Structures are given as C-alpha cells and as structure tokens.
Structure 1
Amino acid sequence: MRYIIGSDKYHVVGNWNGIWKAQASHKARHLLWRLCRGCLPTRYRLLERRVKCNLNCPVCDEEIEDEIHIFFMCAVARDSWCAAGLSSVLHNDAYQQSNAMDRIFAMCSNESSDIVGRVAMLLWCIWQNRNDKLWNDNVQTPRQIGRYAFDAWSDWYSVHKLQSNSESRTTEAGLVRWEKPALGWVKCNVDVAFVPGSGRTSVGLCFRNNRGQVMAGLTQWQQTVMSSVEGETWALLLAMEEARHRGLDRVQFESDSKVLVDAIYMKRRGNSEFLSIVHDIISFMSSFLNFEVKFVRRQANSVAHTLARAANSWSSFHRFENIPLCIEHLVVNEMQ
C-alpha cells in the first residue's frame, strides 16, 4: 500500500490548483477535473476501453467524438463559446494544444479564476446538452447553451460573493435578542426549516405588535426540497403576501438569512429561482413603501424558527391568532 500511495504512476503533472480555485460551482470544477483525468465517457474514450459504439459525435454526427471535438471543435460547441462571450478564449493562440487537458491547464495558468470559472460552467453545459441529445433526443441551440452558461455562472457568482461578504463582516454583530417594533409598526419574523428524510420545506412566520403580543401567524409546508437560500426567500415572500392579506402596511420583516437581505438591498437580478423570488420581493416593497426587511441573528428569530419546525406536525397551511403552545414560553420571555 505504501508503494502505491508514494508512486508517481497515477500522478498527472498540471495546474490542478487552477481548476479547484476556479470561480464556479463544484459540479463545473469537477467536470474540468474529469476532463483532465480522461474520465469523461466520450465515444473515443469508450472505444479505448474496448466498448463497441458509434464513434460519431452525437450532437453534430460529423466527426469522431473525443474531448477536443465535443468541447472545442464541434460547430455547436464553438458557437456556444461565442454566445457565452468567450470566443476570445476559444481562439487564443495560447490555447490551441492538441489535447483538452493541456488546453485547460494553459487557461488556468493564464486566465483569471473568474474566466476559468465561466469556461468550466460552459463546458458543463455543453456536456449536459450532449447527454440530453444522446439519451432524450433533446438538443438546445448554441445560443441557448451559451446564454444559460453565462446566466448560471453569474447567478452562482452573485450568491457566492454575497455569502463571502456576509461571512467576512464579523464586526456586524446583528441583533442577538428580539426587540419590539416601534409604536404603530408590526414586526414579522420569518424562518424556514428542512426536516431530514421528509422531503419537505416548511415555513413559520409570526406578527407581533409594539408590546410584543402575537397578533397572528402562519405555517406552511410544501412537499419539495429547496436550497436553504431559496427556502428563506420563499418564506419572506409568503410573509409579505400574508401581511397584505391582513391589511398590514407598516411591517418590519426580520430574517436570519444575510444572503437574502443583502440580495434585496443590492437589487440583484438573474434567472435563478433564488433571484427570481428576490425580484418579486423587491416589486412587493416598491408597492408597499412601509415594508422593511432586516437581518437578525438566529437567537433573535427563535419564534419563527420554532414555528417552522413545528409546521410539519400541522396541516400544510395553518393560520393562527392564538399563541401556539410551542412558542408560548418564547413569546412571554421576549415580551419582558
């Protein structure tokens, strides 16, 4: 075992750090790694492993499908590079090596991590399109592939930067204890919960007046799995819709998702589900000028968090005016 681990037999020289430092999602970076390790099952690779198959590219059906062809030479791929705004990278003389691995390593050595990330996302989209054509006979146009790659990368980059900024702002302590709203205002705390194994995403929200008394609340769950930030965004939009339903027009909404609150005030736009709901929230706030959104720590959001977890024990949609037993002690404590 010591010989195998210490051996150079399986070591491939190259700029591997450049791949893992690329500004892109893990799935896109992993595809670059597989490409450079020769792990992608192109038809030429399958033939090398003695798998009998048609060698023609499943997308264009004109050339033998190897890594260079499917990602760099196929007409669909080349037009996708252009649609993604990366034609200058594709045609750069420094990246015309005879194999895909050397091209990727050259890009990692000469381009910024952002550009390498965009390339990684584009190659992932090209590979997905190839598989969709092969298995489902469904194919996108190069323009669709390129634009989707750019939009997907932009959305990932926006959220990633927001998360990084949130983590770096350690001096912004945020509220660690719930505070009563000002006279004439209502405060609505919102949170989301995910119960492992249930496949559900649940929301809890609670409206309280300036004395800390519960005015109303709502819980809801859906039989769907969302990302954490998507769930938080859906919960906030639901809270605003409930405030409108109840005729409340001076409401301060509190969420413990810094990424969500930053996205709202930075007015981030994009095609992801997260940013699409953020856009709906921004539109809501433009119609209700006295709707405010504020970030608080989890400790100051315990009522909403408890409701979100309890939601799975109730009907899928549950409104209440009386205090549920599960939050009674928390509310009484925060009224003091």
Structure 2
Amino acid sequence: MKNVAVTEVRSWCHVGREDDIHALLECSFAREVWEAVGLQQWVAVRNNDTVLKVLKRVFNAGTGDQGLMVGLLCWSIWCRRNKWVWDKVSMSVFSVRAMAMNLLADDWNRAREDDCKYKNPQPGGTMHWCKPPLGWVKVNVDATCKP
C-alpha cells in the first residue's frame, strides 16, 4: 500500500492547490489536450462549476460521441497525472489523445459489441471492462482518503 503526503501544491504543474477541476479541465496541459481535439468549448469552466456539472452539461447538450470522448479524455488525463506523480513519467498531448483513442478502440467498443456478463475470470485469464446491466451505472474509483 502506498501512503501519499497530501500537499497544497500540484505535482505536475506547480500551480496552487490540486483539485479535480484543475487537473482535468483547467491545468495548462489539460487545456492543450482539449484544444488539440476541438472540445475546449464543451469543457469550459464557469463560475462555481464542478467536474460533475461540466460533464452533465456535455452529456446533456453534446452528442453521444462528444460525451464519450470527454469521458475517455478525462480518464487519460488522470492517468497521465498519475504517471507523473507516481513514476515521474511525462506524457505528451499526443500520447494522452492516443491513450483515449486506444481505450475507445479496444475496451469500449469490445464492451459494446459483446454481450458481456459479469463472470469470474478463469485462472490466468484477463479481465476486461464490462458494460453494466441496463439501468445500472458503473463507477470506477482509484483513490481513497484517510482523515
């Protein structure tokens, strides 16, 4: 288990306090990603916005493809942030975009094509993301907080 000293400084851009809205949407690197894929207008942050409010706006007003790309890019930006924090490995805007596209081509499309059921993996088998049953929402979390 890793213990992380939580500080008020962003590990990858050294500007102010780290929070989700900055890391995913407002950081200079994140803005470069959004501009490179032409989605900057969809993820523009307004007063008192949270990441959830921005995502809801995209999912309600944008196309399904735009919502999908925003979700995949948020995940890829977060993975880039973690690679820097944990391994001091930097990724380019191109690499983050490629990661999102690979996620789309591999896991997402395979999950949509397959009638994936929740099964116990076979010994030595690999697990893949499975689309949840109709009416369910799957939320993946990779962080915890301890007071």
Q: TM-score, normalised by structure 1?
A: 0.31
- Equivalent position amino acid for 1:196 in 2: Q
2:7 alignment partner, one of 54, 63, 74 = 54
Q: How far did 1:52 drift?
A: 6.5
Q: Is the 8 A contact 2:59 2:67 kept in 1?
A: yes
- SS in structure 2 of the partner of residue 86 of structure 1: coil
Gapped regions of structure 1 (runs ≥ 5): 1-50, 165-194, 200-224, 229-336
1:67 alignment partner, one of 20, 23, 26 = 20
Correspondences of 1:203-214 after superposition (within 5 Å): none
Q: Which one has the largest radius of gyration? A: 1
- 1:77 aligns with 30
Q: How far did 1:78 drift?
A: 1.0
- 2:50 aligns with 99
Is 1:131 aligned to 2:82, yes or no? yes
- SS in structure 2 of the partner of residue 152 of structure 1: helix
2:106 and 2:15 map into 1 onto residues whose CA distance is 34
Correspondences of 1:34-49 after superposition (within 5 Å): none
Q: How far did 1:131 drift?
A: 1.2
Q: Is the 8 A contact 2:43 2:54 kept in 1?
A: no
- Equivalent position amino acid for 1:70 in 2: A
- 1:306 aligns with none
CA gap 1:78/1:68 in 2 versus in 1, 3 angstroms = same
1:88 and 1:151 map into 2 onto residues whose CA distance is 23
Gapped regions of structure 2 (runs ≥ 5): 116-120, 129-147
CA gap 1:145/1:68 in 2 versus in 1, 3 angstroms = same
Q: Deviations over 1:174-219 (max 9, x none)?
A: xxxxxxxxxxxxxxxxxxxxx833x1xxxxxxxxxxxxxxxxxxxx
Q: How far did 1:148 drift?
A: 1.9
2:89 and 2:62 map into 1 onto residues whose CA distance is 33
Q: Is the 8 A contact 1:84 1:150 kept in 2?
A: no
CA gap 1:162/1:59 in 2 versus in 1, 3 angstroms = same
Q: Deviations over 1:258-292 (max 9, x none)?
A: xxxxxxxxxxxxxxxxxxxxxxxxxxxxxxxxxxx
- 1:305 aligns with none
Q: TM-score, normalised by structure 2?
A: 0.66
CA gap 1:150/1:83 in 2 versus in 1, 3 angstroms = farther
Q: How far did 1:99 drift?
A: 2.1
- 1:196 aligns with 122
1:143 and 1:96 map into 2 onto residues whose CA distance is 27
Q: Bigger CA drift: 76-85 or 65-74?
A: 76-85
Is 1:152 aligned to 2:103, yes or no? yes
> Quick check: which one's helix share is greater?
1
Q: Report the RMSD for the aligned CA atoms in angstroms.
A: 2.7
Q: Is the 8 A contact 2:23 2:30 kept in 1?
A: yes
- Equivalent position amino acid for 2:56 in 1: F
Q: Is the 8 A contact 2:21 2:50 kept in 1?
A: yes
Q: How far did 1:85 drift?
A: 4.0
- SS in structure 1 of the partner of residue 42 of structure 2: helix
Q: How far did 1:161 drift?
A: 4.8
